[in-house]
Amino acid sequence: MDKIRKWAETKVAKFFLGVIFLSFMSFGITGYIFGAPAKKIALTVADVDISLGSLAERVRRQKMQLQQIMGKSMPTPMLDERMLVDQIITNTTERILLDVATREMGLLATAPYILEQIKNMPEFQKDGKFSSDLFNRVLQYNGMSEKDFMAEIAGQHTRYLLRSSLESVDALPVVIVKGTLAVQKQERVVSLQEFNTASVQKDLTEADLIATYEQNKYRFIQPEFRQVSALIIKDKKDKESLLKLAEDIENEVIGGAGFDEVAKQFNVESVRFPLLDVSMTKKDGDVLKHPVISKDLFCQAFAIDEGLETTLLKIKDGFVLLRPEKVIEAMPKPFEDVKESVRRLWTLKQKEMANYLKANEALTKAQESGKVNGLIQTLTHSSKIHPDVLAKTFTAEKGDMFIVKAEEKAFLVHLKDIKTPTIKTGSPEFKKTADFVEKQFSGMIYDDYMSYLSEKYGVERQDARIQEYFAPKE
């Protein structure tokens, strides 16, 4: 406990609070939902109920965050909310358990200390001094009171202190580091035979192409397209008036008003875009450019359901609201459009099958004779050879014979010998490996502690209910 309290006074601890603020700005601060009806509860952690609605809101925010970070490089299927649910449940569970644990330990951040850190956050500085006006605007924008914001910062601070103490490993047995480094520097002698035929025996028919297309439709997906409407709120000289106007418009939209109706009522610009994918590209391939709405902003309209609207999004000199009005789901491209790609795929699959059969025939003969008629090579972890061959070779036992499929190729491998070097404990490599192993150990300690807290305070997931709630809507 003394170690934790000393850490709280360091520059690292103070810097950490600045990082917390960025998370706050990205996601907003949302409390836990208490007293939800039993049928709406998704998760119960230490007697705290998380509703399905609260979980869905966290998923929506995470999707928007991913779009902001990765932009056009984020494939739409990766934003499937079902892929995010487990991650968010894990994060929420850890947060609640650590909150309970830190309170029981008496690990608290005092109000004067938290106030001091908030006053030093660069986000609240104006002309080198803390600006109450900036601070209050941020809280107002996120719908938070000063008390709630301080409680959130204090909670994140104490959770981080506890976690950092769990992850600090002072020393490790030398034998563990030696063993890890020895594996990293091992050399493995193999007899390697490669099968990579250039010809295909079977004649291709139209039926073969159609069957290949049907079996591999997931390879030929055209992106999701959406028709998006936008409300652009800008060109007000007074920033406070502009924020007030934007909030009034947002409230009207949340209340069910249409974008065109709100645009006329408040005299702001309304835009309806044509069908575009997440990178603002039309079906014909032309890229749409807009002077106000960037691709990064447009991504946020792909993180919400049809008919819903984004939160207020900041633009230069104003704000924008986006709402997807029409959605054309991602689907396989028509067979005729991808026929040549299907032909290449069929050829690759034929080569893959032929190479594997030849490798399997050679393996049978090698098992009978006790040797592989291949090229003798000495492999290390950095050898320039297919990674699947390396991975299988470095998990095999001496004397093993096995086949590795690598795209259309196949390899027959015989592990003939394993050479392990002598390890010097004073070398730079040893120190680097020790640091790596320490991080692995600290992760194990943290996972064990979370398992202990889960058993102590109780964690109950309503998996069937969650699965049904987040099932794709037909």
- pLDDT band per the 50, 70, 90 thresholds, residue 210: very high
pLDDT above 70: residue 11: no
Separation CA 89–CA 323 (nearest Å):
27
Parallel, antiparallel, or unpaired: how do β-strands 41-45 and 459-461 relate?
A: antiparallel
Q: From edge to edge, which strands make up the β-sheet containing 313-315?
A: 269-272, 225-234, 318-328, 313-315
pLDDT above 70: residue 422: yes
pLDDT above 90: residue 360: yes
Q: Specify the pLDDT at position 80.
A: 62
pLDDT above 60: residue 235: yes
Tell me which DSSP letter residue 299 carries: H
- What is the overall mean pLDDT for the chain? 82
Q: Specify the pLDDT at position 139.
A: 78
CB-neighbour burial class of residue 132 (10 A; exposed 0-12, middle 13-18, buried 19+): exposed
Mean per-residue pLDDT, 282-303: 88
- Complete DSSP assignment for 97-156: HHHHHHHHHT----HHHHHHHHHT-GGGEETTEE-HHHHHHHHHHTT--HHHHHHHHHHH
pTM for the full predicted model: 0.48
Q: Specify the pLDDT at position 471.
A: 76
- pLDDT band per the 50, 70, 90 thresholds, residue 324: very high
Q: Specify the pLDDT at position 37.
A: 54
- pLDDT band per the 50, 70, 90 thresholds, residue 25: very low
Parallel, antiparallel, or unpaired: how do β-strands 331-332 and 221-222 relate?
A: antiparallel
pLDDT digits (tens, 9 = 90+) for 389-420: 999 998 899 999 999 998 889 999 999 999 98
Q: Specify the pLDDT at position 417.
A: 95
